[in-house]
Amino acid sequence: MLSVAVAQAAPAQTAVHYRVTANNAWFYQDVGGRRIAQLVRGAVLTAGTSNATRNDWVPVLLDGWIFATSVGRSGRPDFDLAVTRAPHENLRAKPAGPLLAELAQGFGLKRAGAASDSAHPNRWMHVTRDGWVQRSAVEPLADVADTRTASASDSDSVARPSASPASAPAGRLDSTRAQPVRMTTLYRAPAGPEAGTVATDTPLRVLSRNGEWTRVQFEGWVKGGDLQVAPAGVMVGVTAAELRAEPQRYVGQQLRWQLEFIAIQKADELRPDIPSGASYVLARGPLPERGFVYVIVPDIKLPTFRALTPLAPLQVIVRVRNGRSRYLGNPVVDLVSLEGGTTP
């Protein structure tokens, strides 16, 4: 199975939306005020109820879905609900759909209605909250598609066999199946490096959507001699973008990554996901991604890393501690083994 992201054209709609373009964008309570939620790059936000922007600030409305069991009655008069799950919970564009933001415990919300997901009644809650974002972190979208009206979740649709045309309701499309209408470029991550092309009419299975990007999967064949087999229990091909999009899904999983060594650093209060004072390696990757990851290294293995020069390539097996760190959104992993590196 090969999972890739492809750009998807959006049908026209008159509502005003903004797309998050920054890697570490924040949702603010007020202009220049306290930042209260971290937004996901590529997330599409609804224009806020305020009539005008203020200098470098844009009013937006967080409008999404959250697990009903992760919210409770709010003690504040201006909100109906508050996030009860610690330390945070995901807000999604639709039930089990694309991730919009991570909401900390205590985050206030207004109830917009119950979910219409017939497969899981009362599992999801539709919620909203007004706030502000910095103009530099978003771009306006005209006539952008709104995917929040879908009633069935992406993950549930993928897990269940697709309905046959005879059993599907008249006029309803199977949103889990798609085909390119032209020769289409594949990307290893949204806006990331190219991975190849998909020919017209190649059958694709839709796994998830995030803004203008759609993650798809298709089946094919390669010669066995061209494959590198990973050790038992180790996942290969998992990107940092996937970890950031679904941080809880990969916690505890072992991954094989290609990295570039940057430096050895000590954890401080700005790295709350790493034990205070612990040594970690700042690395670029996983290649070919150009982001950063934090690799926590046992003291006994530090001399090996101290012998490396900056940008030395590394092949490592790591265990995911946090797919998206609290402040900067970088994956935090524990070193399991160093399989290869370049010394001076």
pLDDT in tens, 49-75: 665 557 788 899 999 999 888 999 988
Work out how many domains the chain is built from and give that number. 2
Q: Is residue 255 part of a domain?
A: yes
pLDDT tens-place string over residues 250-280: 999 999 999 999 999 998 887 889 988 889 9
Residues 143 and 240 in one domain: no
Residue of 59, 56, 148 lying closest to 100 (CA atoms): 148
Model pLDDT, residue 11: 42
Residues 21 and 143 in one domain: yes
Q: How many residues does the chain have?
A: 344
| C-alpha–C-alpha distance, residues 344 and 341, integer Å | 10
Domain range for 135: 17-148
Higher pLDDT pick, 145 / 271? 271
- The CATH number that applies at residue 263 is 2.40.50.140
Q: Is residue 285 part of a domain?
A: yes
Q: Is residue 209 part of a domain?
A: no
Model pLDDT, residue 157: 35
| C-alpha–C-alpha distance, residues 268 and 302, integer Å | 18
pLDDT tens-place string over residues 201-258: 688 877 766 656 787 877 778 777 777 666 788 998 888 888 888 888 899 999 999 9
Residues 137 and 27 in one domain: yes
Residues 26 and 133 in one domain: yes
Q: How confident is the model at residue 43 (pLDDT cuts 50, 70, 90)?
A: confident
| N-to-C CA span, the chain | 38
Residue 148 has pLDDT above 80, yes or no: no
Both tokens assigned to 6 = 């492809």
Final residue before a domain boundary, out of 148, 174, 206 = 148
Q: Is residue 182 part of a domain?
A: no
Q: How confident is the model at residue 164 (pLDDT cuts 50, 70, 90)?
A: very low
Model pLDDT, residue 160: 36
Three-class secondary structure of residue 290 per DSSP = coil
The alpha helices in 146-227, defined as continuous H runs, are 154-159
Higher pLDDT pick, 157 / 138? 138
Residue 96 has pLDDT above 50, yes or no: yes
Q: Is residue 155 part of a domain?
A: no
| C-alpha–C-alpha distance, residues 33 and 45, integer Å | 19
Where does residue 188 fall: left (phi above 0), alpha (psi -120 to 50 degrees), or beta otherwise? alpha
Final residue before a domain boundary, out of 148, 164, 181 = 148
CA 168: distance to chain centroid? 31
Model pLDDT, residue 139: 86
Residues 31 and 134 in one domain: yes
Q: Is residue 173 part of a domain?
A: no
Task: Give phi and psi for 208, each to the nearest 5.
Answer: -165, 165
Q: pTM of the entire structure?
A: 0.44
Residue 313 neighbours by CB distance under 10 Å: 14
Three-class secondary structure of residue 236 per DSSP = strand
Q: Is residue 181 part of a domain?
A: no
Q: How confident is the model at residue 107 (pLDDT cuts 50, 70, 90)?
A: very high
Model pLDDT, residue 169: 40
Where does residue 230 fall: left (phi above 0), alpha (psi -120 to 50 degrees), or beta otherwise? beta
What are the percentages of helix, strand and coil residues in the chain, rounded to 5?
10, 40, 50
Final residue before a domain boundary, out of 148, 170, 188 = 148
Q: Is residue 187 part of a domain?
A: no
Residues 141 and 238 in one domain: no
Model pLDDT, residue 143: 46
